[in-house]
Amino acid sequence: MNASADIQPHNPAEAMIFRTLVWTWPLYFVGALYVAGPVLAWLLGGLAALSLYLGPTIRRDLQATGPVPPVVMAWCLGMVVMLVALWVGHLDWGLGLKQTIKSSIGWAKGWALLALFPFAGAILPIRREVIIRAQCIVGLWTLALLPVLFVAPYVGLPEKLFTSPLKAIGGPGPEYFSVYFFTWDPASWTPRWQFYAPWSPFAALLGVLQICFAMEERNIRWRAIGIAAGTAMVLLSKSRMGLVGLVACTLGPRLVPLLLRGWAWQLLAAISATMAVLGAALLQSVKDGIAAFKGARADSTRVRETLQRIAGERWQNEAFWFGHGTVQPGPHLVEYMPIGSHHTWWGLLFVKGLVGFVALLVPLAWQTLLSLVDSARSPRGYLPLSISMTLVLLSFGENIEIEAYMLWPALVILGRHAAELRSCQAFPCASTSDTTRGITIAKRFGV
């Protein structure tokens, strides 16, 4: 099967994206993924800025697709606010110039990517199908390597192969530059697989994104490959969050159009009436299910909840507006996990205060709302909404900023979607699924 027989990059921007994504596994094998993501972000961001600056004088296949959409401007402004909050927090807590410079570099490799990739996706002429096909090719790599990864713990192969010398560049930890076959779960002492991610729960959400991308692939063979690879990543990572995403983030967007159907509201009314009789029993079943879900990895749940409680208390009492400037080591109670980790929102409050919290909340909520409205009136919104839902889900169990280097294909799609909506406002797009209500809502919130 020729990987790109019917999908070829048409310009340098598409070529950079396609080749970087296709080479995900080889880059992982040399510990270079954490380097590749930020480098690609700043190259694409710079190219997009150059395209806007030069206008029609730049080569035709790199000319800007239009002005920057408002939601992408919100992402850019929000991430600049993140940097200002970082500087103020370091100044308030006297962390010194050396630590401030180090943290600013960390911002350039983390939070900045949440602005640069949507910006590039919105400005540069990048087609969705190029990214989708490249993601499916990553799935082919995954399926090809899966037999070796799966048998590794059972034939005595080591967990970790090596840590790349590239760790000298600096990053959140050595796991970002390490190559693993698998890891042992300390709670059950059973193997878990993390594929090309730094740890298993993140691999599960990457698997969810893999499925979401593959569902948009037009070629049935590539679609099957992508879905199979993503499902394997979710199941073998043994992540509870991944199982939730597997259902919610893949099926949820495709159920949204029902919100505009009269019969769906009638069905909802009937279900609501039934709940008056069965509600108490169902509520108890839900509570039991949640308790069992948390109990599946009780130690992990305890550590996460304790970290969140400590972060919340110290944020309110010590650094309400601009936070503590950086994460801090936790006590033995949380196994010395850093306070401000394992949760984007509590981490933001602890590290960057209320200012940083709002700087992420506004663009993410705006982007999600746009995707929600568009998915209700057009299949074009399914993938962006799936991505937004996955990011939201990820934010409640991980720190998005230190994982943006792996989320970049999804971020480019969000920017591309904003540009598509901008184009439809300038030149109304005909769609048999459009409704007057959906169009009105979309125009009200803008792009």
Q: How far apart are CA 4 and CA 224, in angstroms?
A: 16
More confident site: 239 or 288: 239
pLDDT of residue 391: 94
- Give the total residue count for the chain: 447
Element (H, E) at 213: helix 200-214
Q: How far apart are CA 112 and CA 120, in angstroms?
A: 12
- CB neighbours of residue 64 within 10 Å: 21
Q: Which long-range contacts (CB under 8 A, 24 or more apart) does 260-268 make?
A: 260/376, 260/377, 260/435, 260/437, 260/438
pLDDT of residue 410: 96
DSSP per-residue string spanning 379-440: GGGHHHHHHHHHHHHHHTTS-GGGGHHHHHHHHHHHHHHHHHHHHHHHSPPP-TT--HHHHH
Q: How far apart are CA 387 and CA 213, in angstroms?
A: 9
| 3-class state of residue 171 by DSSP | coil
Phi, psi of 307 (to 5 degrees): -60, -45
CA of residue 407 relative to chain centroid, distance: 5
Do the beta carbons of residue 236 and residue 192 sit within 8 Å? yes
**What is the maximal distance between C-alpha atoms in the chain?**
68
Nearest to 6 by CA among 137, 139, 141, 133: 133
Structure tokens at 278: 């069965």
Element (H, E) at 162: strand 160-163
Nearest to 237 by CA among 211, 284, 198, 287: 198
Q: In the predicted model, is pLDDT for residue 425 greater than 90?
A: no
In three-state form (DSSP H/G/I as H, E/B as E, the rest C), the secondary structure along 134-190 is HHHHHHHHHHHHHHHHHHHHHCCCCCEEEECHHHHHCCCCHHHHEEECCEECCCCCC
Please give the span between the terminal C-alpha atoms of the chain, in angstroms, as a whole number.
Answer: 39
Element (H, E) at 14: helix 12-22
pLDDT of residue 7: 80
Q: How far apart are CA 61 and CA 298, in angstroms?
A: 53
pLDDT category at 47 given cuts 50, 70, 90 is very high
pLDDT of residue 80: 96
pLDDT of residue 335: 65
pLDDT of residue 330: 73
- Residue-wise pLDDT for 306-338, tens only, equals 888 888 888 888 888 888 888 877 776 666 678
The stretch 355-360 carries a mean pLDDT of 95
Using the structure block, give the residue that is written with the tokens 């700043």: 42
pLDDT category at 438 given cuts 50, 70, 90 is very low
pLDDT of residue 123: 96
Look up the pTM and report it: 0.87
pLDDT of residue 338: 80
Q: How far apart are CA 203 and CA 213, in angstroms?
A: 15
- Residue-wise pLDDT for 146-168, tens only, equals 999 999 999 989 999 999 998 88
Q: How far apart are CA 407 and CA 126, in angstroms?
A: 17
pLDDT of residue 272: 55
The stretch 211-222 carries a mean pLDDT of 95
Rounded to 5°, the CA angle 81-100-360 comes to 25
| 3-class state of residue 281 by DSSP | helix
In three-state form (DSSP H/G/I as H, E/B as E, the rest C), the secondary structure along 297-363 is CHHHHHHHHHHHHHHHHHHHHHCCCCCCCCCECCCHHHCCCCECCCCHHHHHHHHHHHHHHHHHHHH
Q: How far apart are CA 257 and CA 17, in angstroms?
A: 31
- Residue-wise pLDDT for 73-87, tens only, equals 999 999 999 999 999
Which residues are CB-neighbours of 253 under 8 A, at least 6 positions away?
A: 371, 375, 381, 382, 383, 385, 386, 389
Phi, psi of 422 (to 5 degrees): -60, -40
Q: In the predicted model, is pLDDT for residue 271 greater than 70?
A: no
Structure tokens at 69: 């959409």
pLDDT of residue 121: 95
pLDDT of residue 323: 84
